A = this chain, B = another copy of it.
Amino acid sequence: MIRQNIKVAVDAVVFGYKDKILNVLLIRRNIDPYKDSWALPGGLVLENENLEQAVERELKEETNVTVDYLEQLYSFGDLGRDPRNRVVSITYFALVKPEHHDIKADTDAKDVAWFDVQDLPELAFDHAKILKKAKKRLQNKLTYEPIGFDLLENKFLFSDLEKLYMTILEKEIDRRNFRKKILGFGILKELDEKVSEGRGRPANLFQFNKNQYFKSKEEGFFFDIK
């Protein structure tokens, strides 16, 4: 095989949805280059671990976070993205509830924190570009499959789901059209229970119909042409 000196790394974009805000998990670097800068958790792959094991290990080591499922996002390999060496980074992303995770910095991280994606510090390397790609992917996913099953409380108002969508899409949605589409999937159960929110009339609570949700997710929600 030809001589090749390229290193392989993994990086994780962990989004957290809380209090109607989309956050991202960042670490503060303890080592050069970009010492003291905020960055995505990640690091070099060990020779005896698979890529998924590497990203889970780095995330656990640097932030103490364990995520059930990290989806592969994209691989970044442009020349010069790391001043030390040519490094190709295979990136992963996940969407979680921050309150389910105790964060704690360790190894290459001197600090760890959730940041509102609308109010970020300057990021190390090309991590702003990676984060942008992850946001775009998350927004795209929303347009072809409903998400949020594990981000909302067990029982929620329809307006909570609307806010989740508007927060991630970063824009207003046509509420009438949205309600029609989402209810048309048959994945929500409208409960008899009502609660009041603000000054409005009491509104019904909803619950996800788990079985139908996972069945539809498996089959694909859109374009049912079969």
Partner of A47, one of B6, B48, B178: B6
Chain B residue numbers with a CB within 8 Å of A169 are 226
Distance in Å from the Cβ of A4 to the closest Cβ of chain B?
Answer: 6
List the B residue with the shortest CB-CB distance to A74.
B72
Distance in Å from the Cβ of A164 to the closest Cβ of chain B?
Answer: 12
Chain B residue numbers with a CB within 8 Å of A202 are none
Which of A4, A171, A224: most chain B Cβ within 10 A?
A4
A binding-site residues for B, Cβ under 8 Å? 1-2, 4-8, 44-51, 72, 74-75, 77-79, 84-86, 88, 90, 140, 142-144, 165, 169, 171-174, 177-178, 181, 220, 222-226
- Bound complex: CA A84 to CA B225 (Å): 45
Distance in Å from the Cβ of A195 to the closest Cβ of chain B?
Answer: 24
Which secondary structure characterizes the binding site on chain A?
loop
Chain B residue numbers with a CB within 8 Å of A51 are 75, 77-78, 88
- The reply to whether B7 and A7 contact each other, CB–CB distance below 8 Å, is no
- The reply to whether A226 and B173 contact each other, CB–CB distance below 8 Å, is yes
9 contacts between A and B (CB under 8 A): A2-B46, A4-B46, A5-B47, A8-B8, A51-B77, A142-B223, A144-B223, A174-B224, A178-B225
- The reply to whether A173 and B225 contact each other, CB–CB distance below 8 Å, is yes
- Bound complex: CA A220 to CA B165 (Å): 16
- The reply to whether A77 and B226 contact each other, CB–CB distance below 8 Å, is no
- Bound complex: CA A173 to CA B7 (Å): 46
- The reply to whether A50 and B78 contact each other, CB–CB distance below 8 Å, is yes
Distance in Å from the Cβ of A79 to the closest Cβ of chain B?
Answer: 6
- Bound complex: CA A181 to CA B51 (Å): 40
- The reply to whether A4 and B44 contact each other, CB–CB distance below 8 Å, is yes
Which of A51, A78, A226: most chain B Cβ within 10 A?
A226
- The reply to whether A47 and B222 contact each other, CB–CB distance below 8 Å, is no
- The reply to whether A223 and B74 contact each other, CB–CB distance below 8 Å, is no
- The reply to whether B174 and A226 contact each other, CB–CB distance below 8 Å, is yes
Distance in Å from the Cβ of A124 to the closest Cβ of chain B?
Answer: 15
Chain B residue numbers with a CB within 8 Å of A220 are 140, 143
Distance in Å from the Cβ of A77 to the closest Cβ of chain B?
Answer: 4
